């Protein structure tokens, strides 16, 4: 659009220069009179032609009228095109966003795009997890897009409203992550989310430690405060810095390693088989470091350990290894 505007301005300047100097040299008028009559001719306001105008002046007038009509038509089509293109771009943008949201399955929903939400989204991006952001500020979405350097599905609106969460695909989501700093709003979001999807895993931030219990009562599975998290982190760094470094390699995506919790479904082809039979380490390059089974946790399971439906496998590996892992446990 900027190019069209520059072209339109250039055309106007050229028309007025041509008309002003054309009349000045053909009619011996002053530059001001020439500019004035150029404006009259181009605008077609209807002033009569001077009686003593020369044939050359008439030619200049004819060219000016044609050029004026051309400039007006070009300006009109440019403005019309801008309006139509703007509407079309907005239409396709909304349509593309709806398709992205409708295609999401087993995804994460991040409530809030502030500093905490920003880093949450960055971690999910590193882990190659699909997520949608719910935020009531378009400016915050724009800043998050610049921070992540990527496009992502989002819903603008109040996360405490059912319609907004439904648009975010809450009934198909894997987990809800609430990063708002308003604890009262966090509780309201938890209650709304639970009413729409009772089985949804909910993780929430709390600004005040006193609110943590209320959030759990409302339905959140895990609640943390930033002060608690910072305190634990500082203590771990002081007590055992090498252990923290190792965990950072896994959890922060350094060297492409990560730990993932994977739930085994009833119809998974690996159900009721032992780890030795499946041989996941050799085939996928991943290592099963623990199995969560109801109230029991099996650490460092052996090859004779049987995998049962509902088991939660704690698996360590690189990003590309997990693609193979999921294909094996999910294929029919």
| Exposure on the CB side of residue 36, measured as CA atoms within 13 A | 8
d(CA 59, CA 134) in angstroms, rounded, equals 64
Same domain for 158 and 72? no
Q: Which of 169, 104, 87 is nearest to 134 (CA)?
A: 169
pLDDT band at 24 (very low <50, low <70, confident <90, very high): confident
- CA–CA dist 12, 141 (Å, integer): 40
Same domain, 85 and 111: no
Pseudo-torsion of CA 179, 196, 134, 204, nearest 10°?
10
Residue 170 reports pLDDT greater than 80: yes
Residue 32 included in any domain: yes
Angle between helices 241-251 and 226-239 (to 10 degrees): 130
Confidence of residue 332 (pLDDT cuts 50, 70, 90): very low
Does residue 267 share a domain with residue 219?
no
Q: Does 152 lie in the same domain as 61?
A: no
pLDDT tens figures, 229-273: 778 778 878 887 877 777 666 665 545 677 888 889 888 999 999
Last residue of a domain, one of 164, 197, 231: 231
Q: Mean pLDDT highest for which of 46-60, 115-129, 312-326? A: 115-129
Q: Output the CA–CA distances (angstroms, integers) from residue 311 to 125, 286, 299, in the order listed.
A: 26, 17, 13
Give the full edge-to-edge strand order of the sheet including 287-293: 257-263, 312-318, 287-293, 296-299
Instruction: Provide the CATH number for the domain around residue 198.
Output: 3.40.50.720
Residues 205, 264: one domain? no
pLDDT at 47: 64
Task: Answer whether residue 119 shows pLDDT above 70.
Answer: yes
Number of structural domains (the chain) is: 3
What is the mean predicted confidence (pLDDT) over 25-33? 87
Q: What is the spatial distance between Cα 192 and Cα 218, in angstroms, rounded to a whole number?
A: 10
User: Whole domain around residue 24: which residue ranges?
Assistant: 2-100
- Smallest CA-to-CA distance from 311 within 267, 265, 276 is with 265
> Which residue is listed with tokens 């509780």?
187
Would you say residue 268 lies in a domain? Answer: yes
Residue 252 falls inside a structural domain: no
Mean pLDDT within 8-28: 86
- Beta-carbon contacts of 291 under 8 Å, excluding residues fewer than 6 positions away, are 297, 298, 301, 305, 307, 311, 312, 313, 314
Q: Are residues 121 and 171 in the same domain?
A: yes
What share of the chain in percent tops pLDDT 70? 90
* Whether 238 contacts 246, CB under 8 Å: no
Task: Note the pLDDT tens digit of each residue in 91-107.
Answer: 677 778 788 888 889 99
Confidence of residue 140 (pLDDT cuts 50, 70, 90): very high
Is 150 found in the same domain as 109? yes
Provide the 3-class DSSP secondary structure of residue 305.
coil
On whether the CB atoms of residues 65 and 37 are closer than 8 A, the answer is no
Residues 212 and 139 in one domain: yes
Q: Per-residue b/e over 52-71, b at no fewer than 16 CB within 10 Å?
A: ebeeebeebbeebeebbeeb
Q: What is the pLDDT of residues 272-282, one digit of tens each?
A: 999 999 888 88
Decide if 197 is inside a domain. yes
84 and 132 fall within a common domain: no
- What rounded mean pLDDT belongs to the chain? 85
| Rounded distance between C-alpha atoms, residue 73 and residue 39, angstroms | 17
Q: Are residues 115 and 223 in the same domain?
A: yes
Least confident range of 118-127, 230-239, 286-295: 230-239
Q: Which of 168 and 64 is assigned the larger pLDDT?
A: 168
Task: Name the domain boundary from 77, 100, 123.
Answer: 100
Range with the lowest mean pLDDT among 44-53, 114-123, 155-164? 44-53
Which residue from 209, 206, 203, 166 is spatially nearest to 184, judged by alpha carbons? 206
Residues 271 and 321 in one domain: yes
Per-residue confidence (pLDDT) for residue 330, from 0 to 100: 80
Q: Residue 148 falls within a domain, yes or no?
A: yes
241 found inside a domain? no
Query: pTM for the whole thing?
Result: 0.59
Q: Is residue 250 part of a domain?
A: no
User: Do residues 72 and 118 share a domain?
Assistant: no
In a domain, 240, yes or no: no
Residue where a domain stops, chosen among 231, 265, 290: 231
The arithmetic mean of pLDDT across residues 209-215, rounded, is 87
């Amino acid at each position: 659009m900027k190019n069209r505007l520059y072209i339109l301005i250039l055309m106007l300047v050229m028309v007025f220069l041509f008309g002003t100097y054309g009349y000045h040299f053909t009619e011996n008028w002053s530059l001001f009179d020439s500019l004035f009559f150029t404006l009259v001719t181009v605008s077609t306001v209807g002033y009569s032609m001077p009686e003593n105008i020369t044939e050359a002046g008439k030619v200049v007038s004819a060219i000016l009228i044609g050029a004026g009509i051309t400039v007006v038509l070009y300006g009109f089509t440019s403005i019309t095109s801008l309006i139509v293109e703007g509407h079309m771009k907005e239409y396709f943008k909304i349509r593309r966003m709806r398709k992205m949201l409708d295609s999401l399955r087993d995804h994460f929903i991040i409530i809030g795009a502030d500093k905490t939400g920003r880093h949450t989204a960055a971690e999910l991006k590193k882990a190659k997890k699909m997520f949608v952001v719910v935020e009531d500020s378009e400016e915050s979405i724009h800043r998050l897009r610049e921070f992540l350097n990527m496009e992502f599905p989002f819903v603008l609106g109040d996360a405490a409203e059912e319609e907004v969460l439904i648009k975010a695909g809450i009934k198909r989501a894997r987990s809800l992550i609430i990063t708002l700093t308003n604890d009262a709003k966090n509780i309201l979001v938890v209650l709304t989310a639970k009413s729409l999807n009772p089985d949804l895993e909910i993780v929430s931030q709390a600004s005040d430690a006193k609110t943590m219990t209320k959030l759990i009562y409302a339905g959140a599975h895990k609640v943390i405060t930033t002060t608690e998290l910072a305190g634990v982190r500082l203590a771990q760094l002081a007590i055992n810095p090498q252990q923290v470094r190792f965990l950072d390699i896994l959890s922060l995506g350094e060297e492409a390693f990560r730990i993932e919790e994977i739930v085994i479904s009833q119809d998974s082809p690996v159900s009721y088989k032992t780890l030795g039979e499946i041989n996941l380490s050799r085939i996928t390059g991943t290592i099963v470091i623990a199995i969560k089974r109801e109230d029991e946790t099996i650490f460092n399971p052996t090859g004779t350990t049987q995998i049962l439906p509902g088991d939660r496998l704690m698996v360590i590996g690189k990003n590309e290894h997990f693609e193979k892992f999921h294909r094996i446990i999910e294929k029919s």
